[in-house]
């Protein structure tokens, strides 16, 4: 209010004609005073000559002064009337939200000062533009200029003094939100960084660059990419004029880090990387700045059915991987971990031939059978028909974590599959009785066929392999995992 207080001083009133300001004092009185008080005489200042009396004004001069005072009074009354009219007019502008022009006269503390029909106008620096902090040189450029403003506040005190505070910011904001369109490109400055993105100031308006739009590659933490004060070129992605929200994107202005990835990472090339994050289906390995490849769970082990990648790798771990494929266009890099390790399946027929007796730990149980891990390396499948003491159509007698004695009855190196049969305490092997029964049925059928006629019997029996019932390890001719499992369980075997 102090900045807006007008000069309410009036011309000095005419001093009335009176006696001189200093009266003459007789010399004898002065001498007597000096003689009586010599000490005071030493301290007293030198006598001041009496001021001369003001000259008496003529009638014409008095009339002229009175005329000037009357003109000044009328001028001030006219200014007050104009101010009151302007004040009423601005009240209407404020109610209607109407913009009007103001001539800026000078720079004052806190902003700029101007006039509207003799009514003093104050434009605060905070309402000068859209930005919060306006440089001094930018404020000075408006001195002597006419600017478009709106009424922000009207002020009136008990003395009748009136003034107005105006804003230019609201007009600029309206112009901004009316004119901005999706696809427009701006040079902005990062004003703050959060866990979900970065806010960028474009000429006083802040918009959000979501973490998914910061880079062409995945960004885990926006603070790893930008910081407060960084200059950033952005594109307007979306405009919500009703809520006055702005969505921005930066990734269009970033050079594609995947450019040339096909040549840089050919198939079968071995590289080192860092495990950055782990999901249920695999792990992401950073092999270069802004380039991550996917290491699927199926590529973690040759022999084990890995339930979760954390069984093999951990976040922050450095691993050697082999490139399986690269796709520059789709930003995809497929990696393998087991390919850098020796494949135990290549040696299993010599280290664990069919008929080998061993022990294993049950990893998974289903109505079709159980997955059993042997030697802490291979995951084999034990069909329900190979599990002892399991009735037809009943659930298995095994539980997760059980240790069981078993026999290897089939190995398929190409499909990395292993078929097991349970061995009982009495030495019996699961499924042996069924195999022997099938053998006897086949033998009887062959014999019957031979009795009926040589051609017919020979045709049926000629291609059969005669089996000795005394063999303790059942043959697995015609036994495949497809026969043992439902489609939902076949994925286990291929591990």
Please, where are the H alpha helices in 97-144? 136-140
Which domains are delineated in the chain?
Answer: 180-253 (2.40.50.140), 261-340 (2.40.50.140), 352-433+474-493 (2.40.50.140)
CA-nearest of 198, 301, 300 to 246 is 198
The contacts of residue 247 (CB under 8 Å, 6+ apart) are: 207, 208, 210, 213, 236, 237, 238, 239, 240
Show the tokens assigned to 55.
Answer: 């000259």
Max Cα distance, the chain (Å): 182
Least confident of 216-225, 291-300, 451-460: 451-460
Position 117 confidence tier, pLDDT thresholds 50, 70, 90 = confident
Q: Pseudo-torsion of CA 271, 277, 280, 285, nearest 10°?
A: -10
What does the alpha-carbon distance between residue 11 and residue 69 come to, in Å, rounded to a whole number? 8
Position 178 confidence tier, pLDDT thresholds 50, 70, 90 = confident
Buried b (16+ CB within 10 A) or exposed e, 229-265: eeebebbbbebeeeeeebbbbbbeeeeeebeebeebb
- Could you report the per-residue pLDDT of 359-382, keeping only the tens digit for each? 999 999 988 899 999 988 889 999
The contacts of residue 310 (CB under 8 Å, 6+ apart) are: 278
Beta bridge partners of 353: none
Residues belonging to the chain? 495
Show the tokens assigned to 362.
Answer: 């049950």
Q: Which residue has the tokens 């190196």?
A: 413
With a pLDDT cut of 90, the percent of the chain lying above it is 34
* Cβ–Cβ under 8 Å, residues 347 and 341: no
Round the CA-based radius of gyration of the chain to a whole number and report it. Answer: 51
Quickly count: other Cβ atoms within 10 Å of residue 459's Cβ: 11
The pLDDT assigned to 71 comes to: 87
CA angle in degrees (0–180, nearest 5) for 386-390-393: 100
pTM above 0.75, yes or no: no
**SS3 per-residue string spanning 87-103:** HHHHHHHHHHCCCEEEE
As a whole number, mean pLDDT of residues 196-205 equals: 90
The pLDDT assigned to 53 comes to: 67
Position 32 confidence tier, pLDDT thresholds 50, 70, 90 = very low
The pLDDT assigned to 50 comes to: 58
CA-nearest of 318, 334, 211 to 274 is 318
- Could you report the per-residue pLDDT of 329-353, keeping only the tens digit for each? 899 999 999 999 988 888 888 888 9
Q: Is 473 left (phi over 0), alpha (psi -120 to 50) or beta?
A: beta
As a whole number, mean pLDDT of residues 185-210 equals: 92
pLDDT score of 390 more than 60: no
pLDDT score of 58 more than 70: yes
CA-nearest of 404, 426, 412, 403 to 472 is 426
The contacts of residue 449 (CB under 8 Å, 6+ apart) are: 456, 457, 458, 459, 460, 461
Backbone torsions φ then ψ of 309, nearest 5 degrees: -55, -25
Quickly count: other Cβ atoms within 10 Å of residue 158's Cβ: 5
DSSP symbols for 396-447? PS--TT-EEEEEEEEEETTTTEEEEEEB-TTS-BTTHHHHHHHHHHHHHHHH
List Cα–Cα distances, 289 to 219, 276, 295, 329, in angstroms: 11, 12, 17, 18
pLDDT score of 60 more than 50: yes
354 vs 19, more confident? 354
With a pLDDT cut of 70, the percent of the chain lying above it is 75
């Amino acid at each position: 209010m102090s900045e807006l207080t007008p000069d309410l001083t009036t011309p000095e009133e005419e001093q009335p004609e009176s006696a001189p300001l200093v009266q003459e004092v007789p010399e004898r009185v002065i001498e007597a005073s000096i003689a009586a008080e010599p000490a005071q005489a030493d301290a007293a200042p030198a006598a001041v000559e009496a001021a001369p009396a003001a000259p008496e004004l003529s009638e014409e001069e008095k009339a002229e002064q009175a005329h000037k005072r009357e003109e000044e009074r009328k001028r001030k009354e006219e200014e007050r009337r104009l101010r009151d009219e302007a004040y009423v007019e601005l009240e209407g502008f404020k109610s209607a939200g109407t913009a009007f022009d103001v001539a800026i006269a000078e720079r004052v503390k806190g902003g700029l000062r101007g006039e509207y029909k003799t009514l003093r106008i104050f434009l605060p620096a905070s309402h000068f533009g859209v930005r919060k902090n306006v440089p001094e040189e930018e404020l000075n450029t408006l001195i002597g200029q006419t600017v478009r403003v709106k009424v922000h506040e009207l002020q009136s005190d008990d003395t009748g003094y009136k003034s107005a505070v105006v804003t230019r910011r609201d007009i600029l904001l309206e112009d901004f939100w009316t004119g901005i369109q999706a696809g427009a490109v701006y040079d902005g400055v990062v004003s703050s960084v959060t866990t979900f993105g970065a806010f960028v100031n474009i000429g006083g308006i802040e918009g959000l660059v979501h973490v998914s739009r910061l880079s062409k590659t995945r960004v885990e933490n926006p603070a790893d990419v930008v910081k407060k004060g960084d200059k950033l070129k952005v594109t307007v992605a979306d405009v919500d004029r009703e809520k006055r929200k702005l969505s921005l994107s930066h990734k269009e202005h970033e050079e594609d880090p995947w450019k040339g990835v096909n040549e840089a990472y050919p198939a079968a090339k071995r590289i080192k990387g860092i495990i950055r994050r782990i999901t249920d289906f695999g792990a992401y390995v950073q092999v270069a700045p802004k380039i991550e490849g996917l290491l699927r769970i199926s590529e973690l082990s040759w022999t084990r059915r890995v339930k979760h990648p954390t069984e093999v790798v951990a976040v922050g771990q450095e691993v050697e991987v082999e490139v399986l494929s690269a796709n520059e266009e789709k930003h995809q890099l497929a990696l393998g971990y087991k390919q850098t390790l020796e494949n135990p399946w290549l040696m299993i027929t010599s280290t664990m031939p069919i008929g080998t007796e061993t022990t294993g730990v049950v990893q998974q149980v289903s109505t079709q059978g159980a997955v059993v891990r042997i030697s802490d390396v291979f995951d084999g499948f034990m069909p329900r028909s190979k599990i002892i003491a399991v009735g037809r159509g009943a659930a298995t007698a095994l539980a997760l974590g059980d240790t069981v004695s078993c026999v290897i009855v089939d190995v398929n190196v190409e499909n990395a599959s292993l078929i097991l049969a349970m061995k009982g305490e009495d030495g019996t092997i699961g499924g042996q009785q069924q195999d022997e029964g099938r053998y006897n049925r086949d033998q009887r059928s062959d014999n019957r066929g031979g009795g009926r006629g040589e051609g017919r019997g020979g045709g049926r029996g000629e291609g059969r392999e005669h089996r000795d019932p005394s063999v303790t390890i059942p043959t697995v001719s015609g036994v495949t995992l497809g026969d043992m499992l439902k489609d939902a369980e076949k994925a286990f075997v291929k591990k």
